[in-house]
Every structure is written in C-alpha cells, then in structure tokens.
Amino acid sequence: MATDAVRRHDPARRGFASDNYAGVHPEILEAVALANGGHLVAYGDDVYTSALRNVFRRHFGERAEAYPVFNGTGANVVSLRAMCRPWESVVCADTAHVHVDEGGAPEVTGSLKLHTVRTPDGKLTPDLIDTQAWGFGDVHRAQPRVVTITNATELGTVYTPGEIAAITGHAHARGMLVHVDGARLCNAAAALDLPLRALTTDVGVDVVSFGGTKLGLMLGEAVVVLNPDAVHGLPYLRKTSMQLASKMRFVSAQFEALLSGDLWSRNARNANAMAARLAERAADIPHVTLTRRPQANAVFATLPGEVADRVRKEFPFYTWNQETGEVRWMCSFDTTEEDVDAFVRALAEG
C-alpha cells in the first residue's frame, strides 16, 4: 500500500559534527521491525526487555540490572538522582556533559549540586577529586556523594582500567560512589581492545549510563546498575523523570541487537579507525594543527576561521572552543574512508 512518506534529506550527505548525526544501523532497524506487530505488555514487562536484561548481564556481570531510558540526559539524571539523597552532591570534570551540555537538567530536574573540577584532559584523578570532595559533616556544604566520570571523555580521552580502579578505590574509601557516563563507553572499550566489564564492573564502578544512540540506535540509552546498594528508588525515579517508555520493547530490541553479538564492537571500532585516519591525513595539511592526540572517535584541531566556515557548509562540524578556534570532528559508526578523504580534500583547499 502506498504511503505519503517523503524523504526530506540527502542520504549521501555526511558530516563530522556529532555521532548523533548518523542514521540508524540497518541491523537495528531490522530488530525494531521484528519486534513490531501484535500486542505485548507495556512499560518493560515484555519478552524483549526480559531478554535484554540477560544480554546486559553477559557484558557486566550477574548482578547487573538494566533500565532502558530515552536519552543520555535522562540516563545521567536518573542515575545520579538514584545515587544521591537531596543534600548530597556530585563531583565531575568541568568539561563533563552533565555540567556543560545538558541545559541544567541535573540541577532543574534532578535537584543535584555539581562540584566541578578543572582538568587538563577531561579526566579526573584521586587528587583532583579531593579538590571538591571535602566538607563531610559540614551542614553548610552539599555533601559529596558521587564521582561521575565520562569514558570516552568530552575531550576524546580514554580512561584505562587502572585509572578507573584508582578512582573507585579512592571514592569508596571516602564513602562515595562512582558513576560512569558511558555515552561512548563502547568506543573506549574498542580503543583499548577490552570487554565492557573491564572498564566498569571489574574496577568497582557502581552505576553506568550506557550509550546507544551514538552507536547506531534510533533512540535509547540504559541505566545499568552494577552495585544494587548504590541506588534507591530507581524504577520510580525513572517514571517521575519521564524516562519510562510505554512501548519499551522497541528500545530493548535495539539494545539486544547491538549487544547480543559484536555489532557494538564493529560500530565502535569503525568510528575510532575513521578518526585515526582523519587525524593522520589532516596532520599533513599546513594550515591545520591537531590539538589533541585522538584516542577514540574524536579529533580536535585548529584551522583558519575562513577555512572552517567554508568547509562546514559541505561537512558540518562544531567549533569546540570559541576563544581559541579549536574545532571538534566526530566520526560515526557509518563514517567511511571515502567520507574522510573527501573531508580532508576540502580542508586542504585552504
């Protein structure tokens, strides 16, 4: 039967602004189609969400409990709300997504106090955490309760298992918990050639916001609880935070397709490899200066403003730092070598 659907974009156009710009992986679309048809119980009591729980446990351990949500902001806010009581606070890097890019949602929706820490590379350390983790027992200071780290970070850097273990050991010794914003956790794991649990469960992380949208899902992230004692009321907080999907089977089916095999790794490895290719070729352009060594799927550089303005008309990308002119180029699960090479040629034209 004919439909009135109209394609309103050029599917051949590519950009390097965000891995959120990419479409949906064909295997994910197939999973959504297979989950369609008939009637199933709503709000997560369906066979797809039940199967998803077992898939997450294979990656994160038998105690892991996964709660699908709509988006990354929701995953972070629900996680941190469940880990904090009203008078407690969160320590994060000053470049963290929860601080910079969520429109105040942790404060407005979660009533959370964020203690930010300046870092050279987006990564916290025990010493840096201690610049804000103080005042315990002081009624005049929000009580530090959670350390949240992002892996891979907003600056494209990757925490190693040893670095995370040092943070979790230090935080737990101080009576604090550790949350990982894992919007690009798969990219971090692929960069280090490690399983997902090596960067989470095995090094003492309590809760993870696990990303899917940037890796080929249509929509959906998940709150993954690794330590049940670290949260309270999470199912109710998910509902009151407007993150409980009625037709959850379609979110869960996507994650099952992503995680039941190696799709998560394939997608992440491709994005990382394309970023490495882009960095290598852009480094040969005289008027382009790479500002950071790419570790996952992000490339940072400076170039003349007029060149940036010209190129981004064909290949969209963002200016990361308005003061320095530093830009960020993100590669995605569907970025190809041809995409990278065309972009590099455009940059080289000066």
Enumerate the β-bridge partners of residue 146.
Answer: 90, 177
H/E element, 224: strand 221-225
pLDDT the model gives residue 4:
85
Give the residue-averaged pLDDT of 82-91. Answer: 97
Nearest to 287 by CA among 255, 311, 261: 311
Look-up of token digits 């034209």: 349
The pLDDT tens digits for 9-41 are: 999 899 999 999 999 999 999 999 999 999 999
pLDDT the model gives residue 139:
97
- Number of neighbouring beta carbons within 10 Å of residue 150: 28
- Whether 2 shows a pLDDT value over 70: the answer reads no
Domains in the chain and their CATH numbers?
Answer: 26-259 (3.40.640.10), 263-348 (3.90.1150.10)
Q: Write the CB contacts of 182 (distance below 8 Å, at least 6 apart in sequence).
A: 150, 151, 188, 200, 208, 209, 210, 211
The rounded radius of gyration (Å) of the Cα atoms in the chain is: 20
pLDDT the model gives residue 25:
98
The pLDDT tens digits for 196-240 are: 999 999 999 999 999 999 999 999 999 999 999 999 999 999 999
Alpha helices in 234-335 (DSSP H): 234-240, 249-259, 263-282, 305-311
Q: Which residues of 312-341 are buried (b: 16+ CB within 10 A; e: fewer)?
A: beebebebbeeeeebbbbbbbbbbeeebbe
SS3 (DSSP) at 205: coil
C-alpha pair distances (Å), 7 with each of 3, 10, 11, 29, 190: 12, 8, 9, 17, 34
